[in-house]
Amino acid sequence: MIILLGPVGAGKSAQAKIIEKRFGYKWLSTGELLRSSKDPIIHEKLKTGKLFDDEDIEKIVDEAITGMNKDQKIVFDGFPRRVTQAKWLDDKLSNWSRKLDAVVHIVVGEEEANRRMKLRGRADDSEEAIKKRHEEYQQNVMPVVEHYKNEGMLSEVDGVGTVEEVSGRIEEALREHGVHPN
């Protein structure tokens, strides 16, 4: 498994899809799973930019992975977003007979991230929601970055540049963790 961490607008989804194509890891985005829900309450909550409860997220991750072939490798996009989720994942790995290959932190400043968000224009991208997601990133995701740094799993990658430039840097980082293209 690969984990991609980074602020909103860092290009995590674009990079995860490239990893899916080049490395054969299946893209798993908790945000995308939530957006595809038919439950109107979930859609209302998405508009706030606040993080969902761990139990709700862990349930959808568990279901997604349980439904996959055991050999299917996964690239997580937007998960884990709290240290509690990271610890849950650490515990779950052996149940699923899977291991963590690498964690890549895509580093982008808030200004650049905001500039990109404006280009994207997703339904849950109101200015208020974006601000909230930045707060959640500082408060909750940065401790996740620290968690994986302490475990020796983390690579930091400069997220400023074209999609191709950034994907080149990510590939280099993945190679250092022994992950190679198909």
In the DSSP assignment, the letter for residue 100 is: -
Does the footprint of ligand AMP cover residue 78 (CB under 6 A)? yes
- Reading the block at residue 147, the tokens are 């968690």
Its sign, for the CA torsion 143, 94, 15, 12, is negative
| Minimal distance, residue 34 CB to ligand AMP, in Å | 5
Nearest-angstrom CA–CA distance, 20 and 23: 6
Chain positions 98 to 157 lying near ligand AMP, rule: CB under 6 A, are 133
Is 10 near ligand AMP (CB under 6 A)? no
Chosen residue from 4, 5, 8, 145 binding ligand AMP by CB under 6 A: 8
- Assess 23 for contact with ligand AMP (CB under 6 A): no
Residue 79 makes contact with ligand AMP by CB under 6 A: yes
CA distance 163 to 155: 18
Q: Which helix (H) or strand (E) holds 41?
A: helix 40-46
Residues that bind ligand AMP (CB under 6 A): 8, 29-31, 34, 46, 49-52, 57, 78-81, 85, 133
